[in-house]
Amino acid sequence: MEYIYLGKSQLKVSRFGFGCMSLPADQKESESLITQALDKGVNFFDTADLYEKGENEIRVGQALHTRRKDVILATKVGNRWRADGSGWDWSPSGAYITGAVEQSLKRLRTDYIDLYQLHGGTVEDPADEIVETFEKLKREGKIRYYGISSIRPNVIRSYVEHSRIASVMMQYSLLDRRPDESITALLKEHEIGMIARGSLAQGLLTGKEPKNYLSYSAEEVGKAARAIMAVSGLHRSPAQTALRYVLHQPAVQVALVGIRTSAQLSDALGAFDTSILNTDEITILEESIQALAYTDHR
C-alpha cells in the first residue's frame, strides 16, 4: 500500500480509500470486508451521516472501534433527513452541524472524527458560519481536520480561499476530467488534498454495458472503456488501470472506491501491485475521449 499526508494535515492516509456507502447491510459481511482491507494496509474509511439514515455510520463504527487508532475515519454532514423519511434537505447551518457531529460520534463509537466534510455546498450557504463551526469543533477536539465534498468549482474556490480545508472530495475519472480545467491546479497550489470518487465511473470503465454518462454518448463511453481494456492488457485488470489513471494526476492523493464484495476489494487493491502508467499509456487513454469542461457553477 502507498501512503501520503492529506494536504497540509497530519493525516497519513492510504492512497486507496474505502468508500463505505456500498457496504452490505449484514454486519458480519461488512466487518469481514473492512477487516480484509485493514489487513491489506488500507487505513482511510469514508462514510456519511446521510447514508442509510445513519445506519452506515453505525456499521462502520461497530467494525472499526476495536482498531480505532489504526484508521483515519472520515464522515460528512449537511444533509438532514426529513421527519417522515421521504428524503432529505440541505441544512448547512452551524447549529445543525454542531448537533449532527454529536450524533455521528455516537454512531461511529468514537470520541473524534479525523476528517469531517461538508457534504455538498452552494454559493448561497453561510460559509463564514460553517467554517467558524468547523474551527470550533477542531478546538474542542471533536474533529481533527475538515474538508468539503463538492463538484461545484465556485464553491471549491470559495473554501480554498477562505478556510483551512485539508481536502476536497470530488468526482474524477477518465470519463470525468472536468477538474483538470481549473481545480486540480488550484488544489495543488494550495496544498489541499484531492480525494477522487467515482474513479470507475459507475463501472462503465470496467465492463458494464456502455450508456450515456454526463454529456458523453454510450458510443463514446464504450470507446473509453475499450482504451482502458487495451492498456490493461495482461498486466492489469480494467479497474486497476482506471485507478492507476486517477492516481497519476498529481493533485489526487486518494482514490476512493465503493466496496461491496471481497472480489471488488481484491481487484482494486491489486492496482498497487502493478506499475504506474507510462506516458504512452496515458496518451492512449486521454486520446480515446475528449475531456469535458464545466458548464454549471463556474
Catalytic residues: 51
Question: Which conformational region is residue 147 in: left (phi greater than 0), alpha (psi within -120 to 50 degrees), or beta?
Answer: beta
Residues 153, 155, 161, 165: is their CA dihedral positive or negative? negative
Question: Phi/psi of residue 148, each to 5°?
Answer: -130, 155
| Distance from C-alpha of 238 to C-alpha of 243, rounded to nearest angstrom | 9
CB within 8 Å of 134: residues ≥ 6 apart: 97, 116, 118, 143, 146, 163
d(CA 274, CA 279): 15
Contacts of 280 (CB under 8 A, 6+ apart): none
- Only one residue has cell 504512452, namely 280
Q: Is the dihedral of CA 274, 279, 281, 286 positive or negative?
A: positive
